[in-house]
Structure 1
Amino acid sequence: MYAIEVNNVTKIFRIHRGKPKTLKDRIVLKNTGVVEEVIPLKNVSIKVKKGETIGIIGENGSGKSTLLKLISRIIYPDEGEIITRGKVSSLIELGAGFHPDFTGRENIYINASIFGFTKKEIDKRIDDIISFSELEEFIDIPVRTYSSGMYMRLAFSVAINIDPDILLVDEILTVGDEHFQKKSFNKLSEFKRKGTTIVIVSHDLNSIEKLCDRVVWIDKGIVKKEGMPRDVIRAYLDFLAEKDNKRALDIKEQKSEQVNLSEKHPVGTGEVEITNVKLLDENWEERYIFRTGEEAVIKISYKRNSNVGNDVVFGMAIYNSSGINCFGTNTYLDGIDIEDLKEEGEILFRIKKMNLLDGEYSLDISCHKINGELYDYKKSVLTFNMYSPVKEVGIVKLDHEWQIL
């Protein structure tokens, strides 16, 4: 039995541009306006089983919130149909109906009535609502005096203290401070254990993975992928990384037109110059966004301006955004002897597994004598980003395994 059926749904918003504003304009300028159509959802079909928790993910503007509003019947589809079985409660527009001049207690009655509760039903629940919001001290003062966090906590507490068959949640997993967020997360978990059907829209992929049985990824109004949370989230992160990488390549190309390494004066004697540095993936394509554990290759182009014999060392160092040196080495430390350096050439440094965790990193490249005297040094010659579907903490992911004895 499906609790929710979304069958071939399309939603069209029509935006009127140049629309006449006065009666005179309507008479004189009739039919001169332009109607622009925006289609946030195109032929979308999703089925949710009774008691299932599904997550909806996607970029801003992809149609996620529109889908929730359609299911909750705030708006209606232009094509297709939506069937829901059971009482629907939506945590979409938190605080809708709150009056700033009324107290928190008075607004509880107003807001709960929007959800269809009678005064008698609210009387039975009001103590639980106030307790969950943790606003006992402020409940009898006007909500205009509340901070935005207090306002959202009260609204969330009203919406969550009901017993729906279907719960629709839109970006409310970050309401309040960390303590209240955990409390809200636990409340949703409680609903799940009770067998409530839950649909969650959120950018908090960790929470989506923990809570959901299934994830649907919507991109530009269509269902791009659906399935097990980890598989869909990984595909989504890979998509975002590819998109960010293209943007990074465009920015790098624009900067390279303005700044050429070979034209910059070397930091050192200049007997050997570093002329270019690129970061490549396992397919030897230029890339600046990597998933933790992927292979990466640093390609260093150089030019020798005088005879240095075999007294030459190339080195690299990776720093995180806090300036911490995550890793550094050079050809001398690794026992690589460089003899008869060509006038121009390339040095490749292959990282079999880029095990850095989420974040932005910068790369330094150096060329120097064995005694450390610099030929050239390029500080923060490029930046790159790491991402991981698994949110470990720290700087680097260590190869590891657990054993339960």
Structure 2
Amino acid sequence: MSTAVEVINLSKKFHLYQDRTQTLKEMIIFWNRQKMEDFWALRDINLSIPRGATVGLIGRNGSGKSTLLKIISRILYPTTGEVKINGRVSTLLELGAGFHPDFTGRENIFLNASILGLSRRETERHLRDIIDFAELEEFIDNPVRNYSSGMYVRLGFSVAVHVDPDILLVDEVMAVGDLAFQKKCLEKINEFRRRGKTIIFVAHDMSLVQRICDYVVWLEHGEIKAQGRPGEVINRYLDLVASREEERMLQEKEKSHGQSEWNEGETPTDQDAGDKHEQYIITDQTDPPARTNRWGNHQVEITAVKMFNHRGKESYSFECGQPATIAIHYIMHKPVSDLVFGIGIFRDDGLHCYGTNTDIDHFEIESLPPKGVVECQIQSIHFLEGRYFLDVAAHTKEGIPYDYWTRCLEFSIFSRIKDVGVARLEHGWVVLGNSERALLKNKIWRNKEQ
């Protein structure tokens, strides 16, 4: 198979100035005193993209994805190395790149098409298709400075795909615009794939990359971290993202709660407990104080709350469907006989997603040591991707709070599957014959196998 794009020992360096001058006079006076350091956006990139392949570039922001596309499209030039291209290239890298704000949409079609290598006669032949695809018939003769961002990208994408390139470079364009236009873009991408065009695009939507890519390149700090089949590379990338999210959430939890909790194994004195809980101890258990997120009569005290992942490691980032454990550390200052522990989970918009307690689950607590840990072990945390907050409580069976702690910690959920709603339900799809109720085994799909 012939090669469409070949990147050989490519590196790109930028100069970063530490002292930013504000005026032309300052630039002239202090030009030789400015502190400058080198920043390597790309280092030693070697990549061979076969003709007709659809390649996704993934990685965190700042990893060098857009820089690589700009070098392939000749917008930027490498510091070292080279790029060999076989075929006409069409690019859509920046919103409205190549548009003149005072020109009309029609005039910008001719301007942008000429930049992409189309003659005026070729542009005239495709003009009607470009306008129809962009859905801008009513506005095509208005200056594009009056266009919305969605209109901008629709016009730019329409020009780019109607150039009929051999190689199409796209940078996050399918994340812009309404759902109908995104669907149209995806259909056009699939049409290009069927026609054997080469497509290289940057995307943060891993489900999209998984669906349409033949090959994935993962960039990290300007270097190729991994490349290969989409499933393998994406899973490695998401594992790293999850690990970093765990570390970030753990650090945030330590910052926000480190000074408000006693160290594990340390027993507070009566004076410590009084000082610490003075702001939320109440005598009337009907209405908690509005100025705090804790209240109760302090006979049983929750001293710390932690979460652990399926590996037993403290974590505040979980993958949808994985196990999670909530550990509630407590101290009983006075013996109690009707103790109930409970949890509540809320989405960051305040939606109450789930709540339970030991009484609801008929988990009888007959005798407890004066100090210990109660764990709620969740076999599969099936909430969808997002930020969540946890409430914990120790109270009587009648609901009188010993210690009620709202939003005691934050955790996040990430998912490799883009469902919508609140929770992911275990489900499957089956096909039944017209006159039979048996499952057709060759046409069954179950989400747990994904």
Alignment TM class, shorter chain as reference: over 0.9
What letter matches 1:403 in structure 2?
V
Indicate if the aligned counterparts of 2:118 and 2:163 stay in contact, CA closer than 8 A. no
TM-score normalised over the length of structure 1: 0.92
Q: Does 1:300 align with 2:301?
A: no
Matched residue of 2:138: which SS?
helix
Equivalent in the alignment of 1:279: 307
Q: Distance in 2 between matches of 1:138 and 1:42?
A: 44
Matched residue of 1:138: which SS?
coil
Indicate if the aligned counterparts of 2:92 and 2:156 stay in contact, CA closer than 8 A. no
Distance 1:298 1:71, change over 3 A: same
Q: Distance in 2 between matches of 1:122 and 1:397?
A: 48
Bigger relative contact order (CA 8 A; separation at least 6): 1
Equivalent in the alignment of 2:13: 12
Q: State the shift of 1:178 in Å.
A: 1.9
Percent identity between the two aligned chains: 45
What letter matches 1:398 in structure 2?
L
Q: Does 1:291 align with 2:292?
A: no
TM-score normalised over the length of structure 2: 0.83
Indicate if the aligned counterparts of 2:95 and 2:152 stay in contact, CA closer than 8 A. no
Any idea what the Cα deviations from partners look like across 1:27-53, whole Å, max 9, x if unmatched? Answer: x87854433111001111222111110
Indicate if the aligned counterparts of 2:5 and 2:49 stay in contact, CA closer than 8 A. yes
Q: Distance in 2 between matches of 1:127 and 1:71?
A: 29
Equivalent in the alignment of 1:353: 380
Matched residue of 2:428: which SS?
coil
After superposition, residues 214-363 of structure 1 pair within 5 angstroms as 214-260=215-261, 263-264=276-277, 265-266=280-281, 267-309=295-337, 311-363=338-390
Distance 1:17 1:379, change over 3 A: closer
Q: Is the deviation greater in 48-57 or in 367-376?
A: 367-376
Equivalent in the alignment of 2:288: none
Q: Is the deviation greater in 64-73 or in 253-262?
A: 253-262
Q: Does 1:371 align with 2:398?
A: yes
Q: Is the deviation greater in 359-368 or in 257-266?
A: 257-266
What letter matches 2:154 in structure 1?
R
After superposition, residues 6-405 of structure 1 pair within 5 angstroms as 6-15=7-16, 32-260=33-261, 263-264=276-277, 265-266=280-281, 267-309=295-337, 311-404=338-431, 405=440
Unaligned runs of 5+ in 1: none
Q: Distance in 2 between matches of 1:25 and 1:74?
A: 27
Q: Distance in 2 between matches of 1:29 and 1:333?
A: 72
Q: Distance in 1 between matches of 2:391 and 2:95?
A: 48
Q: Distance in 2 between matches of 1:82 and 1:260?
A: 57
Q: State the shift of 1:204 in Å.
A: 2.6
Q: Distance in 1 between matches of 2:3 and 2:97?
A: 29
Q: Distance in 2 between matches of 1:82 and 1:9?
A: 8
Q: Distance in 1 between matches of 2:205 and 2:142?
A: 33
What letter matches 1:277 in structure 2?
V
Distance 1:17 1:321, change over 3 A: closer
Indicate if the aligned counterparts of 2:113 and 2:163 stay in contact, CA closer than 8 A. no
Q: State the shift of 1:372 in Å.
A: 2.8
Matched residue of 1:285: which SS?
coil
Distance 1:24 1:220, change over 3 A: closer
Q: Distance in 2 between matches of 1:14 and 1:366?
A: 55
Q: Distance in 2 between matches of 1:164 and 1:212?
A: 18
Q: State the shift of 1:218 in Å.
A: 0.7
Distance 1:366 1:23, change over 3 A: closer
What letter matches 1:152 in structure 2?
V
Distance 1:332 1:32, change over 3 A: closer
